[in-house]
Amino acid sequence: MIKAKKSLGQNFLIDANILERIVNVIQIKEKNILEIGPGTGALTSCILKKNPKKVIVVEKDKNLAETLEQNFRDEVTVINKDILEIDEHSLINEKFTVFGNLPYNISTEILSKWIINLKDGFWFDHLVLMFQKEVANRIISKFNTSTYGRLSILANWKLKIVKICDIKPVSFSPKPKVDSSLLLFTPKNKIFKIEDPKNLEKVTRVFFSHRRKMLKKPFNQLFNGDQKILDKFKIDLNLRPQNLDFETYYQLTSEYENLRS
């Protein structure tokens, strides 16, 4: 019997219907699969049944990684490492389809890292990822909502995002305290050009540092009250950060880069 480690966010999926649902979100046959945090390998087994081309799993827990090695010997490449320390571009020179019931404490860090570190093009064709429901709602939220913010602006910059389903705590062992949601991410064909994603992070950090306050202060901080920019994007400084849509944040980041170049 495996004792789950809370520090590694170990809540193992035990619901066969949900496992089946996850592997049916997109086609796996003949694909290169990267699974993050396979744990006891329940999802890995379901993935293998769909005849992938290659399966690589990244599991930080040494004991679990050893058990996975034994159980899946020739079928799976097990990497016993922290996913945050891996350069995914170096794993394979073909595209991955990524699955992960992510450890909740680092799920947003993983997603942000993947978006920010994208070099020339995408190393994945789809991401099928499970998050804490509240985090998933922040990722998919649109402007003019209370959950809209830095995470959705960053994620929607390069990815199309669809919610597949919500998952109740009873589907896991041990049961988490919160509901979960499964999201499907697909690279966008047309991506707004930003030179350095760190500038998007900076611009959104300044705007959302006081999400209930009006736009005036952060705008002045970044653009020194530049009226031309306000007119160009028809920005009303009496609005709040959540009232500007994705596109406006990308455009403002581009202006910010122009000012600094």
Which CB atom, from 172 or from 219, has the smaller least distance to ligand SAM?
172
Q: What is the DSSP string of 113-173?
A: HHHHT--SS-SEEEEEEEEEHHHHHHHH--TTSTT-SHHHHHHHHHEEEEEEEEE-GGGEE
Q: What is the DSSP letter of 36?
A: E
Structural tokens at position 76: 């799976």
Which CB atom, from 81 or from 232, has the smaller least distance to ligand SAM?
81
Q: In the complex, which residues of this chain contact ligand SAM (CB under 6 A)?
A: 8-13, 36-40, 42-43, 58-61, 64, 82-84, 101, 103, 106
Shortest separation between residue 131's beta carbon and ligand SAM, angstroms: 10
Cβ-proximal residue to ligand SAM, closest one: 37
Which CB atom, from 62 or from 193, has the smaller least distance to ligand SAM?
62
Shortest separation between residue 11's beta carbon and ligand SAM, angstroms: 5
Shortest separation between residue 82's beta carbon and ligand SAM, angstroms: 4
Q: Do 135 and 183 touch, CB atoms closer than 8 A?
A: no
Instruction: Give the C-alpha distances (Å, rounded to integers) separating 13 from 10, 18, 167.
Output: 10, 8, 10
How many Å apart are CA 49 and CA 61, to the nearest integer?
A: 24
Which CB atom, from 110 or from 200, has the smaller least distance to ligand SAM?
110
* Count of other CB atoms within 10 angstroms of residue 51: 10
Shortest separation between residue 200's beta carbon and ligand SAM, angstroms: 24
Shortest separation between residue 87's beta carbon and ligand SAM, angstroms: 14
Which CB atom, from 36 or from 159, has the smaller least distance to ligand SAM?
36
